[in-house]
Structure 1
Amino acid sequence: MNLSYAPSTIAAIATAPGRGGVGVIRVSGRDLLPFAQAISGGKTPKPRYALYTDFVAADGSALDNGLLLFFPGPNSFTGEDVIELQGHGGPVVLRMLLARCIELGARHAEPGEFTRRAFLNDKMDLAQAESVVDLIDAASETAARGALKSLKGAFSGEIHQLVDELITLRMLVEATLDFPEEDIDFLKAADATGKLSAIRQRLSRVQATARQGAILREGMHVVLVGEPNVGKSSLMNALAGDEVAIVTDIAGTTRDTVREEILIDEVPVHVIDTAGLRDTDDVVEKIGIERTWQAVERADVALVLVDGREGITGSVGTILARLPERLPRIFVFNKIDLVGETPRVGDEDGHEVVHLSAATHAGVDLLKARLLALIGFQGDAEGVFLARERHLDAIRRAGAHLDTAAVEWQQVEIFAEELRLAQNALSEITGEFTADDLLGVIFSRFCIGK
């Protein structure tokens, strides 16, 4: 049996690859009741009720059995008719069932296409759509709670409130353009600058919350650099709480970058242990040193390890000279257990310094606290929603336009234009004002079936 459906019907396996007790096929399109009847052997599912049935092939033989759920649009995830087939979780049976869906007229869904349809059908805005994948990829419980807040509209609600206030102010300002001889007096009487100040303050609070959310989502990349045998691998293990890097007294043991993701107060931290930086004739070690400098270029923070017994030597100075100027760094004086020092943090000669022992872990918590402080994480994630770099960029641009508006408010046409540009920047966050190519980039990063 071959039924004809609109080309917009899509299908995909919605569960992760591998074997499991349950596997889910998701289908979305228009007028899918005949589709549901065909794959269930002629049964008519009741909307939003689970139907236990065989899933049948074209000749009527059973491919699998399980639950069929039918969600008529627009009351569904995508806003279209949606069918979920919940069968057994083996990869072979799921492929057979997906092939049957394609045979009935569906096509393979693209990455993120279900969520994209939900966005295009006004079931969620763009910030909420992005939070779907953020919830799936959350690296900590706090990040998961933040993603759920965004999915339920907390971030979008803040942005909509700002946009509404901007629209109200724009209406006030643009109304004066028809009466240029009275515009300044009218704006003063209406307290336009006071309203603008309130909007800027609200934007500042949203920016601070979004910045915390971006840290929770993205984490930070920390690279360990220094001469050979100063304890980089030992510190890597101390931060990770596991023996992830080989530690010996032989200089040059680490010949390649070693990466480990850890959590510090729920913040993901990507720690990169690198080859010791020195002149060498060893071909393999040279390659490792080159990769070290590549890791440095991509890092958010550099931990410059120094042997606490020797201090900052000329070789360390050579390393410092090559570090990118924009890269924040913390000097870590290691091996204090060998000289009888106690752990401490401070500012020495204009450098942020932590004295610790990677071998005994004394002072490692002090370093973790300094890392969080360096990236601006405040430690209280209550009320934080997850945000992305594009969100922060839009907020920064909106803030810049509002700053200009505050300076140029007596030039009414400039004032009105800056308010319009600020509104457009904020509307990019929720997708009310955005380019189609941006949508393609965002949804292409989703997994199949979402």
Structure 2
Amino acid sequence: MSHAADLEKRSDIIAAVATPPGRGGIGIVRVSGKNLQPFAEAMLGSLPKPRYACFSKFYDENEQVIDQGIALYFPAPHSYTGEDILELQGHGGPVIMNLLMARCLSVGARLAQPGEFTLRAYLNNKLDLVQAESVADIIEASTSEAARCAMRSLQGAFSATIDSLVRLIIELRVIIEATLDFPEEEIDILQSMQVGHQLAVIQDQLEQVLIASRQGSLLQEGIKVVLVGQPNVGKSSLMNQLAEEEIAIVTEIPGTTRDTIQQTIKIEGVPIHIIDTAGLRKTDDIVEKKGIERTQAAIQKADMLLLLLDSNATDNSSNHEILNNLPASLPRLIIYNKIDLLNIDPGIENKADQVIIHLSAKTGAGITLLRQKLLEMAGWQSNNAGEGLFMARQRHLQALMAAKTHLENARLLMENNYQLELLAEELRCSQTALATIMGEFTADDLLGEIFSHFCIGK
């Protein structure tokens, strides 16, 4: 279904509570649709003056006052959705909000689906798809750096960069397509137009966008780090040090942690989701066995492992067994804890492709080294509050990688006797991959997946 057809299908009036559930000083009901004048007259008695805050009474079907507050009216097309929008700002109690919503539905609106207001903004060309997604990213941002990065995308920084790349590719395609009409002179034409240089410039710019996008993705998603090791090796103490508060219970009794405990910490604005797990060992305790099963499940979903070992331990057979059972492809840090008992300094060493950190979870010695290494292994490059980064989602990264692959194929074709038809096709595919980022070529099922994760009322 085309965007125009989808928009026609969604021409009805939608309504939703736009403020969080619960009690508050203000509660907002948002309404969007074509020609809201009859709707407003039924709810308010008259249509408010456009773009003015009007003190109004909100009426039920018997002309009894449900509530009173501020009514705001934004006529199409100069509104968030591109349609008429009416906002009713009343008292923020659940009962009042429910009564107002019930009245909206009785007047002719239907309950909006998650993200449907922003979806209509996208379908009405008020936002491109990247900007629409950034609305959700701003709401869900877990750090101030992530929020600033998402705001840059909402203001169009990411879209402008992608659009610039697309234009460069189009310019190159124009040269290639024109040259196809003069096959006997193609090599001279391509060389005179410096096609190879232009392609190299595009590839370089795309690589910079990929780097900035991966960094922005880290700001939004962060990484999941699982602490594993034998019982009583200091996993809970290490988690408390990283979180800088008492999250996990610490005792001298092995097996104290029976379940996974998760805490999100922030290092240079990057969310690190630390998961403390039950110690890995053979046990007959039913509860502890269940905890170990959950540890194994957490490992399967992790982005990185921190394997804790006791610097004082003399028998390492159990540690070797743990190592052999860990996924080989999963990045890991090996941490030797309790160096305070040996009176040695914290440090980092590399042995046989393994990174080893010596620290004390009890005193905090070496924790700064660990934090820095976590960021480094996650792929983070220090940045000033997310400046220059793009809040990229997984689908953006996939599209950028697809475009990069097609450009690399184009480069190979140019180096092999200028196979113009294939070269033109690779450039077209690269352009199409980039265009999907902004939603120019987007399947309806993908739109449904994207907007289903929005909150209702946005």
Between 1:173-182 and 1:142-151, the stretch displaced more is 173-182
Identify the residue that residue 361 of structure 1 maps to in structure 2.
364
- Partners of 1:254 and 1:432 in 2: how far apart? 50
The Cα of 1:99 is off from its aligned counterpart by: 0.8
Of 191, 195, 220, 2:194 maps to 191
1:16 aligns with 2:58: no
Equivalent position amino acid for 1:221 in 2: K
Of 412, 420, 427, 1:412 maps to 420
Of 319, 326, 333, 1:323 maps to 326
The Cα of 1:350 is off from its aligned counterpart by: 3.3
SS in 2 for 1:53: strand
Identify the residue that residue 3 of structure 1 maps to in structure 2.
none
Identify the residue that residue 259 of structure 1 maps to in structure 2.
262
Of 247, 261, 265, 1:244 maps to 247
- Partners of 1:86 and 1:293 in 2: how far apart? 49
The Cα of 1:383 is off from its aligned counterpart by: 2.0
The Cα of 1:111 is off from its aligned counterpart by: 0.3
The Cα of 1:311 is off from its aligned counterpart by: 6.6
Identify the residue that residue 7 of structure 2 maps to in structure 1.
none
- In structure 2, runs of 5+ residues without a counterpart are 1-9
Of 93, 97, 100, 2:100 maps to 97
The Cα of 1:182 is off from its aligned counterpart by: 2.1
Equivalent position amino acid for 2:449 in 1: V
- Partners of 1:438 and 1:313 in 2: how far apart? 50
Identify the residue that residue 422 of structure 1 maps to in structure 2.
430
1:62 aligns with 2:71: no
User: 2:50·2:72 contact (CA, 8 Å) conserved in 1?
Assistant: yes
- Partners of 1:425 and 1:182 in 2: how far apart? 30
User: 2:234·2:337 contact (CA, 8 Å) conserved in 1?
Assistant: yes
Of 385, 389, 392, 1:384 maps to 389
User: 1:311·1:333 contact (CA, 8 Å) conserved in 2?
Assistant: no
User: 2:262·2:275 contact (CA, 8 Å) conserved in 1?
Assistant: yes
Quick one: structure 1 residues 340 and 107, their matched pair in 2 at CA, closer, same or farther if it must change by over 3 Å? same
User: 2:29·2:88 contact (CA, 8 Å) conserved in 1?
Assistant: yes
The Cα of 1:38 is off from its aligned counterpart by: 1.8
Q: Percent identity?
A: 54
User: 1:10·1:29 contact (CA, 8 Å) conserved in 2?
Assistant: yes
SS in 2 for 1:86: strand
Equivalent position amino acid for 1:429 in 2: I
- Partners of 1:175 and 1:349 in 2: how far apart? 55
The Cα of 1:422 is off from its aligned counterpart by: 0.6
Give the alignment of 1:38-437 within 5 angstroms.
38-41=42-45, 43-310=46-313, 313-380=316-383, 381-409=386-414, 410-437=418-445
- Partners of 2:350 and 2:152 in 1: how far apart? 39
The Cα of 1:181 is off from its aligned counterpart by: 2.1
- Partners of 1:86 and 1:276 in 2: how far apart? 52
- In structure 1, runs of 5+ residues without a counterpart are 1-5
1:25 aligns with 2:29: yes
Between 1:240-249 and 1:87-96, the stretch displaced more is 240-249
Aligned length: 444
Quick one: structure 1 residues 167 and 7, their matched pair in 2 at CA, closer, same or farther if it must change by over 3 Å? closer
Equivalent position amino acid for 2:162 in 1: I
The Cα of 1:345 is off from its aligned counterpart by: 1.4
SS in 1 for 2:180: helix
- Partners of 1:426 and 1:44 in 2: how far apart? 43
The Cα of 1:447 is off from its aligned counterpart by: 0.4
Identify the residue that residue 453 of structure 2 maps to in structure 1.
445
CA-based RMSD of the aligned residues comes to 1.2
SS in 2 for 1:408: helix
SS in 1 for 2:265: strand
SS in 2 for 1:84: strand
- Partners of 1:127 and 1:386 in 2: how far apart? 9
